[in-house]
Amino acid sequence: MEDRIERSERGGIRAARARILSALLVLLLVALGCAGLGRPEPDRKGPPFSHDDFDSFLRRHVDDVGRIDYARAGADREDLDRYLAALASTSPDHAPGRFPTEAERLAYWLNAYNASVIGLVLDHYPISSVIDVRAPWLLRFLPEGAGFFVFRPITLGERRTSLYSLENRLIRRRFPDPRIHFALNCASASCPRLPAEAFLAERLEEQLARETDRFLAERRNVEVDADASRLRVSSIFDWYESDFTSWVERERPGEPPTLRSYLLHHLPAATADALRACGSCEVEPIPYDWALNDRSSARAAGADGRRRARRPAHRASRFGWHAAHPDTVLVGASESRAATSKSTGARGNEAQAAADRGGSGPRAAAAPGG
């Protein structure tokens, strides 16, 4: 009898601890999300938003393969800090009058993501990977990457959010263009290369096309292995597959809505021909390398010389959290959903539905954005 009572008490204690941990998790997510990106405010007029400071920083510190010397950049970041302060004080939701076109709004959000990633890396440097930034100790059971992409707040337009929410609750839902995945950089070796310039509204179409072509031309991202009947692709295509297949449904309604169809329209001619010839090729995600995009190979490899090569985390997420908990509201999702439906209409609703059907990146949390 005493043994049964003791076992019952131990079980009750474990259940109580589990409830406490769950409550703490909810409180942390609510605290991070309650001030998240939400409804556009009354129109505020003002001069066009300038990306000059970010452009200057990128041109000075990014090399031709998209890497940064973070040690040097950390000692020379005044223009980046000015830019981050400008992002914190205004945004297309905070002052829509300063962002009258869709290109201006998208350029802001893409630059905000990339600049915030760089700022967070510099704040935690030296690190060998963004997944080295850990979640609060009570939440270390969460997937790797949650610390960086979910629990490190950023401020945009006087509202606090996270990289996860910015990518998945705003950019992907409001802008149903899969080329965003080639513009978002998550400071990792397998990410799309970081451009050495800021995105600008007047050149945005050209810049997105350039980054798409560059990403798809690299064998590290797409490789047709006819002998093995394998189409090896970046894990980005696995995590966000629905974004690419939704494009096919919208733009090529007579074609099968598959990743293969999307790639055939965007791959270099020789690779596209090889894919057409490999009718039985099965898609195989390429393991993601989370090593920091640091120009110093010693820093990027880490003190022990090991690379941070990762298998694809969860199919629907760069860091897996939302894949395992698809009904969890992360960082003000309900507010962002309301803002999206009001401010973008049918186009935003279509993007939101695609985001709900498919992946969630850190960019999704290691993942995470192209």
- 3-class DSSP string for the chain: CHHHHHHHHHHHHHHHHHHHHHHHHHHHHHHHHCCCCCCCCCCCCCCCCCCHHHHHHHHHHECCCCCECHHHHHCCCHHHHHHHHHHHHCCCCCCHHHCCCHHHHHHHHHHHHHHHHHHHHHHHCCCCEHHHCCCCHHHCCCCCCHHHHCCCCEEECCEEECHHHHHHHHHHHHCCCHHHHHCCCCCECCCCCCCCCCCCHHHHHHHHHHHHHHHHHCCCCEEEECCCCEEEEEHHHHHCHHHHHHHHHHHCCCCCCCHHHHHHHHCCHHHHHHHHHCCCCEEEEECEECEECECCHHHHHCCCCCCCEECCCECCECCCHHHHCCCCCCCCHHHHHHHHHHHHHHHHHHHHHHHHHCCECCCCCCCCCC
**Is beta strand 222-225 parallel, antiparallel or unpaired with respect to 309-310?**
unpaired
Tell whether omega for the bond before 178 is within 30 degrees of 0, i.e. cis: no
How far apart CA 338 and CA 10 sit, in angstroms, is 44
> pLDDT band at residue 309, thresholds of 50, 70 and 90?
very low
Q: Give residue 45's Cα distance to chain centre.
A: 30
Statement: residue 110 has pLDDT above 50: yes
Mean pLDDT score of the chain: 80
Burial degree of 12 (CB within 10 A; 0-12, 13-18, 19+): exposed
Residue 309 has φ and ψ, to the nearest 5°, of: -80, 130
Q: Work out the pLDDT band at 310, boundaries 50, 70, 90.
A: very low
85/102 Cα distance (integer angstroms): 23
Indicate if the pLDDT at residue 5 is higher than 50: no
pLDDT tens digit string along 208-224? 999 999 999 999 999 99
Dump pLDDT digits (tens) for 21-73. 554 454 455 454 444 555 555 566 789 999 999 999 999 999 999 999 999 99
Residue 123 pLDDT: 98
pLDDT at site 208: 98
Lowest-confidence segment of 136-140, 189-193, 287-291, 292-296 by average pLDDT: 136-140
Contacts of 146 (CB under 8 A, 6+ apart): 135, 139, 319, 321, 365
Tokens of 98: 């300063």
Residue with the larger pLDDT of the pair 320 and 285 = 285
- Asked whether the predicted pLDDT for residue 328 surpasses 90, the reply is no
CA dihedral 230, 236, 242, 247 (to 10 degrees): -90
Close Cβ partners of 15 (under 8 Å, ≥ 6 residues apart): none
**HSE value, Cβ hemisphere, 13 Å, CA-based, for 54:** 27
Burial 155-165 (b: 16+ CB within 10 A, else e): bbbebbbbbbb
What span, in angstroms and rounded, lies between the C-alpha atoms of 191 and 180? 12
Closest by CA position to 171, among listed 365, 367, 364: 364
Tens of pLDDT, residues 167-186: 999 999 999 999 999 999 99
